[in-house]
Structure 1
Amino acid sequence: MSRRLGLGSFTVGLVAAVLAGLVRTTTPLSNTAFPDTDVLLAKGLSALAVVLVTYGIYRLVMSVFVARITDRRRAHDIRNVLRLTVGLIALVGVLGAFTDQWLGVLVSFGVIGFAITFALQQPILSLIGWVYVVIKRPYAIGDRVTIANVSGDVAEVDFLVTTLWETGGTLSTNQPTGRTVTVPNSLVLSSEVVNHGALFDRIWTEVPVQVAYETDIQFVRDLMVDTAEAELGDETRAAIQRYRHRLDESPLELDVPESPTVNVSQSESWVVLTLRVLVPPRGAQSARNRLYERIFERLADHPDRVSFPVGRNR
């Protein structure tokens, strides 16, 4: 459908261009009542030809080339760049058709550009931000990001704004809220951007468990690691290998453990054992829930070796 629409628009545009040429070269239609009718008609047909031809080219490129790109993120970026380029070409063409001064139109764009820069600073900065996003790729469609304290999954990256499907927000967990948030692209240039899956498809998350000082700490540590291995073992090992591979390609030198780890810290009334594991960015909360449930189930089976603060599970 898109290809047919493109071919049809392109063909009609060529017909309009031919008719404009015929009007310019044939007997003038002007009369005393409506002077310069032939000139206005020729300019109108020329402008229509420019619009239809550029639109037809856009549709043909989208259907023939862009539609074959399997990477949704790259296809989205190419579509936006193509829309902007074709739109500018069409605008210059229409103005040139009516003024017959193509060079003057381009020069006027430069002069007008200086004049409106101060009046449209934020939109211009947002457009520059969009160019930065397309070139440097701090995030792309589908990434979970935090931009200026707003978290969500990137749903759309337009010329001026980025649309996020919000996560967290008023919820106590980092899960979708069902709302969308539009963030000006200019914030990419002036605020920090956190991409929760930029390095690869996993992030570190922690599962803290509080136990009393009378607890067999080493036993609980081993139990937590075994539980994580049973729940996420194969996925975690594969993710760690990918993580190490990505680190090898970077200048970073980090020590990456081969399995989940447990860190121990003290407070006034209990000991906190924090399990650290790799999970998908969008599945962090569900993974923590599973681990909490399984860990406490297993701890409850060993009351002789595990004690909880105030004598109850917390």
Structure 2
Amino acid sequence: MIELLDFFDNPIVVRVTKLLLWVLFIVLVIGFLRKLLKKRISDLSIRYKAQKGVEVIGYLLIGILVLISFTVDNIENYTVIIGLFTAGITFTLQELILSIAGSFYIFFVRVYKPGDRIEINGIKGDVIDIDSIYTTLMEMGEWVSSDNYSGRIIKISNAFVFKGPIKNYSMDFPFIWDELDILITFDSDVELAKKIMLDTATSLLSEYTASSMAKWEEMVAHYYIENATLEPTLALRITDNWIALNLRYITDYKLRRVTKNKLFHQISQAVSATDGKVNLASTTLQLLKIPELEVNLKK
């Protein structure tokens, strides 16, 4: 019993106990404030930022408490020990430290934010959460085509912001260029086919073109970038089997698949209404008749 009392009278034990109690108190306060904010704030974006702000402040307080608790009186006598300890911790936890540094870099430089569509470390998806260690993505692609969710939720270390390129589909210019090819036969009316494609694209994408122009002007003013054509454009290419009409257009980064489907549908309907003046092409095969052989058998 006396030994137990002596143990708890030890200054180091008292200091560690106080530290653990304070850490527990701060963690409980963080949880309480998160639940309170969830009930009081209805706007998802504001609620998310407020909850993350509470977490960051709480973790900073815990870090400060740890530093204060383990500060020694005669620091000069422990310089070498502290140096070796710090070097060992840094080497052991370098990925963790880099991840935490990456979270601050993401927050202050605004590399991306929740709701952005990005591609990082070869993985594409929508950002659904950013914490002090990981960025969480709703994955796109893999075994599904186009820009559809695969259903997998992926956590990527924030350290990757320092290790490679980050492709952001929505940060400053939430529009992307896309293309589709329409193949027509050589006996088709090419000018009529071109008119059908351009008229359809111009009519369907007028809203995107108008919206993107204002955003593109901001891009040109902010970055060293040349001006670009935002209206739908057409390019013609002749092959051995058909004439390929390539339509290039701008669309919302989240509606690329939907837009392409609408364009194909409306263009195919317009082509069908030309009464054979424009015909869609397909791969053709020419079958040659094998010549007949006469075989005479002589005894």
Q: Deviations over 1:27-63 (max 9, x none)?
A: xxx9788337566796577436633664577579876
The alignment status of 1:307 with 2:282, answered yes or no, reads no
Aligned ranges 1:127-138 → 2 under 5 Å: 127-138=100-111
| 1:306 match: secondary structure | coil
Conserved in 1, the CA contact under 8 Å of 2:114 and 2:128? Answer: yes
Q: SS at 1:225's partner residue?
A: helix
Residues 1:151 and 2:136 are matched in the alignment: no
Q: What is the Cα deviation at residue 173 of structure 1?
A: 1.9
Residue of structure 1 equivalent to 2:181: 208
Q: Which residue of 2 aligns with 1:14?
A: none
Which structure 2 residue ranges, 5 or more long, are not aligned?
285-299
Determine whether 1:87 maps to 2:62: yes
Secondary structure of the 1:113 match is helix
Residue in structure 2 matching 1:264, options 236, 249, 255: 236
- The alignment status of 1:166 with 2:139, answered yes or no, reads yes
* Structure 1 position 281 matched with structure 2 position 256: no
TM-score normalised according to structure 2 size: 0.76
Aligned positions of 1:1-314 closer than 5 A: 34-35=5-6, 43=15, 46-47=18-19, 50-51=22-23, 54-55=26-27, 71-72=45-46, 74-75=49-50, 78-79=53-54, 81-93=56-68, 96=69, 101=72, 111-257=84-230, 259-310=231-282
**Structure possessing the higher radius of gyration over alpha carbons:** 2
Identity %: 22
Kept after mapping to 1: 8 A contact 2:33/2:54: no
Distance in 2, Cα, partners of 1:61 & 1:33: 37
**Superposition deviation, residue 219 in structure 1:** 2.0
* 8 A Cα contact 1:151 1:169, kept in partner: no
- In structure 2, what is the Cα distance between the partners aligned to 1:50 and 1:183? 31
**Aligned equivalents of 1:120, 1:70: Cα separation in 2:** 34
Give, as a single letter, the amino acid of the residue that structure 1 aligns with 2:66.
Answer: L
Q: Which moved more, 1:149-158 or 1:299-308?
A: 299-308
Counterpart CA distance in 2 for 1:264 and 1:81 is 56
Distance 1:33 1:47 in 2: 20
Q: How many Å separate the matches in 2 of 1:181 and 1:244?
A: 35
Residue of structure 1 equivalent to 2:293: none
Measure the CA separation in 2 of the matches of 1:213 and 1:173.
31
Instruction: Give the TM-score normalised by the residue count of structure 1.
Output: 0.73
Q: Is the Cα–Cα contact under 8 Å of residues 270 and 309 in structure 1 kept in the other structure? A: yes
Matches of 1:32 and 1:144 in 2, distance apart? 60
| Contact kept in structure 1, 2:128 and 2:138, CA below 8 Å | yes
State whether residues 126 and 184 of structure 1, in contact with CA within 8 Å, keep that contact through their aligned partners in structure 2. yes
The two structures, once aligned, show a CA RMSD in angstroms of: 3.5
- Matches of 2:42 and 2:84 in 1, distance apart? 40
Moved more, 301-310 or 152-161: 301-310
**Other-structure match for 1:3:** none
Q: What runs of 5+ residues in structure 1 fail to find an aligned partner?
A: 1-29
Per the TM alignment, residue 307 of structure 1 is displaced from its structure 2 partner at its CA by 2.0
The aligned amino acid for 1:243 is W
Tell me whether 52-61 or 278-287 shows the greater mean CA deviation. Answer: 52-61
Counterpart Cα distance in 1 of 2:246 and 2:265 = 15
The alpha-carbon deviation at position 178 of structure 1 amounts to: 0.9
Which amino acid in 2 is paired with 1:274?
N
Change (3 A) 1:102 1:281: farther
Secondary structure at the counterpart of residue 200 of structure 2: helix
Q: Whole-Å Cα distance in 1 between the matches of residues 26 and 41 of structure 2?
A: 18
Question: CA deviation digits over 1:241-297, x for unaligned, max 9?
Answer: 32223322322122333x222222333222222222222212111111111111111
SS of residue paired to 1:309: coil
**Distance in 1, Cα, partners of 2:32 & 2:61:** 12
Could you report, residue by residue, the CA deviation over 1:214-242 in whole angstroms, capped at 9, with x for unpaired residues? 32223222212221233232233222232
